[in-house]
Structure 1
Amino acid sequence: MVQSKTSIDEQLRPFPDHTQLPESDGTFVKNFHEHPQSVILTDSIEPVLQELHPDNHYAIGQDCGIYWRETDPPEKGAEAPDWFYVPGVPPRLDGKFRRSYVLWREYVTPLIALEFASGNGTQERDKTPLQVVKETVQKPGKFWVYEKIMRIPYYGIFIIDTGELEVYHWEDGTYERLRANERGHYRINRMNVELGVWRGTYLSQPEQAWLRWWDLQGNLLLTGKERALIAESQTEQERQRADQERQKRQQLVDQLKSLTPEQLRQLGIDPELLE
């Protein structure tokens, strides 16, 4: 049997790379909370990841597509977690910023994927498997893809409206829901951090629940702005202490200057030193 040139060309056609694939799965960002939530996670974890990866070989995706199978159209073979971290891969490919993460090209699974649920988390818990219904391939659920195909070690579902957090750990082919520790946090091994919920204000958002990181001793990992504010406050406190010390010294000098030379000599002080 002789194959046509068209069929041979199709077989030899190279897989598309990250620059040729859509950046997301085609869905809209679901709420205004997603962007600042992603930023606060990334900003605060960067110092930890830089220590873990001195060569800077890691990638963070924020609502970017992870392509786990080749489909037509391509986005049918992608999931776009609201936030994910992949260790051991370069942040750029061929000098270009990543537009997506092609799992079937790099074969490195994200260590953790997080979803910020606008609703009650039903979509994020969807375990519908990949299947064909009436000769049509049905898109599988997120939970099923992360658990059965990508096998992401940690999967978190953060319910924005209630501030509830569910964290799952992949063990023996299935996700097991983790229990929070005494601080209400979840330990993420290999990152040496804990994940939990913090209430406060960030950027222009009012006080509300935010997904954040802590170290293993329970100390909140701060954003760059928070670190700068603390450093500024410490500098101001040191300046105030220095001013107070100068004032005390000046008061003492003024008191000594009010004494007679004889009184100063009795105290063992040379009067000429105060001139």
Structure 2
Amino acid sequence: MTSATNPPTVTTALPDHTQLPESNGSFVKNFQEHPQSILLTDSIEPLLQKRHPNGQYCIGQDCGIYWRLTDPPERGAEAPDWFYVPNVPPKLNNQVRRSYVLWQELIAPLIVLEFVSGDGSEERDKTPLSLTEPKTEQKPGKFWIYEQVIRPAFYGIYEVKRASVEVYHLVDGEYQIMPVNERGHYPISPLGVELGIWQGYYQNLELPWLRWWDAQGNLLLTGQERAEQVESQLEQESQRAERLAAQLRAAGIEPEV
């Protein structure tokens, strides 16, 4: 029997990634956003595999980061277009991640990237969370959520229409906009890479794409670009060998096969 002085203890378990919606109900806004996410992931994967030989990292592409328990759950989530989290397992309990739940993981993403589809006001919205009138509470601004709650060290806002990206660095609890370096890129020093705009073709589209460079300014290539580079090098070697053989024959020397 429970006494009046010792009320029963009620334990409420917080939901995990398997119990929360995979997305916030939004959808990719145009045909460029999905290829853009793939381009970022494909080109940086070799670097991340070297950086994490144990495989302990994850990349999210338009999937939810849950920062607050709400009803409905989607109100307490942001779904960045691209983000990277170091030192976490790619699976949880042998299950593919459905979302990233901060109260379950406690490790913030290192970098979050948003692709602007409107005028950029949503990505720069600093409206704070207000609890004074919970029944009429509106969702706080995306910039405020990233800066004050999710707190990735770097937050990038990419606008394909303007061929631009601006990057913020979390310093003393506040985002400070970063200056570009001499190459017009933003150094992401913990990763040893730079982020910037590259004009070119990818998946049959010529656009100012958001891309990575290494710290020396060399573009990080996709798998297809790496294969094409190797093919080009082999072709150049073959052409040099053919020229050398022709020169030997002109000198009366039959080259060995």
| TM-score of the two chains, using structure 1 as the length reference | 0.86
Residue identity in the other structure for 2:82 = W
Using the TM superposition, give the Cα deviation of residue 134 of structure 1 relative to its aligned residue in structure 2, in angstroms.
6.7
Q: Does 1:190 align with 2:170?
A: no
Alignment-derived partner of residue 216 in structure 2: 217
Q: How does 1:247-266 map to 2 (within 5 A)?
A: 247-253=246-252
Aligned pairs for 1:48-87 (under 5 A) are 48-87=47-86
2:205 counterpart of 1:230: no
Identity %: 60
- C-alpha distance in 1, partners of 2:79/2:108? 14
Q: Which amino acid aligns with 1:154?
A: F
Q: Deviations over 1:169-222 (max 9, x none)?
A: 1111111111111111011121010101110010121x2101101111111111
- Bigger radius of gyration among the two: 1
Number of the residue aligned with 1:165: 165
SS in 2 for 1:131: coil
Question: Which amino acid is the alignment partner of residue 49 of structure 1?
Answer: L
Q: CA deviation at 1:252?
A: 2.9
Query: Which residue identity is paired with 1:70?
Result: L
Aligned to 1:179: 179
Partner of 2:97: 98
Q: Which residue of 2 aligns with 1:122?
A: 121
The residue aligned with 1:23 is 22
Q: Can you list the C-alpha shifts for 1:50-90, whole angstroms capped at 9, x where unaligned?
A: 11111110100000100011112111110000000000001
The residue type equivalent to 1:145 in the other structure is I
Match of 1:261 in 2: none
Match of 2:38 in 1: 39
Give the C-alpha shift of residue 251 in structure 1: 3.3
User: Alpha-carbon deviation of 1:13?
Assistant: 4.2
What SS does structure 2 have at the residue aligned with 1:161?
A: helix
Flag the structure with higher helix content. 1
**Partner secondary structure for residue 196 of structure 1:** strand
Partner of 1:136: 136
Q: Alpha carbon RMSD of aligned pairs, Å? A: 2.0
Match of 1:203 in 2: 203
Stretches of structure 2 that go unaligned for 5 or more consecutive residues are none
Letter in 1 for 2:110: L
For 1:163 and 1:23, the matched residues in 2 are separated by: 30
C-alpha distance in structure 1 between counterparts of 2:194 and 2:19, whole Å: 36
What per-residue deviation string (whole Å, max 9, x for no partner) do you get for residues 8-67 of structure 1? Answer: 79x434222212211111112122111000011001111111111111101000001000
Structure 2: distance between partners of 1:134 and 1:81: 25
User: 1:32 and 1:103 mapped to 2: Cα distance?
Assistant: 30
Q: Judging changes above 3 Å, is the alpha-carbon distance between structure 1 residues 50 and 37 closer, same or farther for their aligned structure 2 residues?
A: same
Helix, strand or coil: the match of 1:234? Answer: helix
Query: Which residue identity is paired with 2:202?
Result: Y
Distance 1:231 1:237 in 2: 10
CA deviation profile, 1:145-187 (whole Å, cap 9, x unmatched): 0001111110000012111111001111111111111111011
Aligned to 2:239: 240
Q: Secondary structure at the match of 1:26?
A: coil
Is contact 2:60–2:83 with CA below 8 Å preserved after alignment?
A: yes
**Structure 1 residues 241-250 or 122-131, which shifts more?**
241-250
Equivalenced residue count is 249
2:155 alignment partner AA: Y
Question: Could you tell me which residue of structure 2 aligns to residue 270 of structure 1?
Answer: none
> Taking structure 2 as the reference length, what is the TM-score of the superposition?
0.91
* Structure 1 residue runs without a partner (length 5+): 257-275
Partners of 1:102 and 1:30 in 2: how far apart? Answer: 24
1:208-260 per-position Cα deviation (integer Å, ceiling 9, x unaligned) = 10110111111111111101001000011111212222233333337x9xxxx
